[in-house]
Amino acid sequence: MPRPTDLTSFAAYARALAGLTSERIETMRALAAEVEPYLEGVTDRFYARLESVPETRAWIDGRVESLRKPHRDWLTMLFRTDFGAGYAQTLMRIGDAHAKAGLPVDFLIAGMTVVQEALQPVVLAGARAKPFAEAARLASVNAALGCSLVMLQRAYATRAATPSPPRAA
Ligand code: HEM
């Protein structure tokens, strides 16, 4: 079945693939106030990892200060959005910025595991010794990031399907 092209259906498709249920979206939103003071630290860890790997460092050298704010804004949004059409549109635009700059899609895929790793201690802190709450929080973050990745990488598929204009001889 082809991927849906309207934003509402595409957002529903991304949520379904990643197992991002309404209950998990509620879990994310219920965590927003608790995690926000720590999102600056999550951003620090994200860029520290990108700077420690030569392949990614080459792309962000001298730009980390300007990239931090949009990245931090996205993290804030992650805990406040409904993962609907508006979010899909924003994430597709962010994905397109990466595709346009020529970043390999591999960076986004691996980058999500870095975000996952940095968010885990933050979401677990308020659920210590409550195994069901811990599991629910981890599953929600995992699904939210998976859904976001489907939306982000969409721009790559769209660009690949669009033939480049002919080059001048
Ligand atoms: C995986 C999750 C990631 C998210 C959510 C994310 C988020 C963002 C955001 C919000 C922007 C600003 C885009 C705009 O508004 O125009 C941006 C730009 C950028 N990101 Fe990421 N990013 C991710 C992964 C990565 C990785 C792994 C790299 C590796 C180097 C990277 C490198 C860049 C670069 C170079 C730009 C500037 C692109 C340009 O020249 O316009 N990002 N990113």
Supply the DSSP string of 34-47, one letter for each residue: HHGGGHHHHHHHHH
The Å distance, Cα 164 to ligand 1 centre, comes to 23
Which one is predicted more confidently, 1 or 41? 41
pLDDT for res 160: 76
| 84-143 pLDDT tens trace | 999 999 999 999 999 999 999 999 999 999 999 999 999 999 999 899 999 999 999 999
pLDDT of residue 164: 58
> Does the pLDDT at position 68 exceed 50?
yes
Residue 159: per-residue pLDDT: 77
- Residue bearing tokens 């998990």: 24
Tell whether the model's pLDDT for residue 169 goes beyond 60.
no
The residue nearest atom 30 of ligand 1, judged by CA position, is 56
C-alpha R_g of the chain? 17
Point out the ligand 1 atom lying closest to the alpha carbon of residue 152. Answer: 5
CA distance 63 to 43: 14
Cβ–Cβ < 8 Å for 147, 17: yes
Q: What does the pLDDT read at residue 165?
A: 55
Written as six digits, the tokens of 41 are: 């630290």
The answer to whether residues 115 and 42 touch, using CB atoms and an 8 Å cutoff, is yes
Give residue 88's pLDDT.
Answer: 98
What's the rounded Cα separation, in Å, for the pair 160 and 3? Answer: 15
Statement: residue 80 has pLDDT above 80: yes
Closest to 139 measured CA to CA, from 128, 124, 152: 124
Each residue's pLDDT tens digit, 25-52 = 999 999 999 999 999 999 999 999 999 9
| 89 C-alpha to ligand 1 centroid (Å) | 16
Q: What is the pTM of this model?
A: 0.92
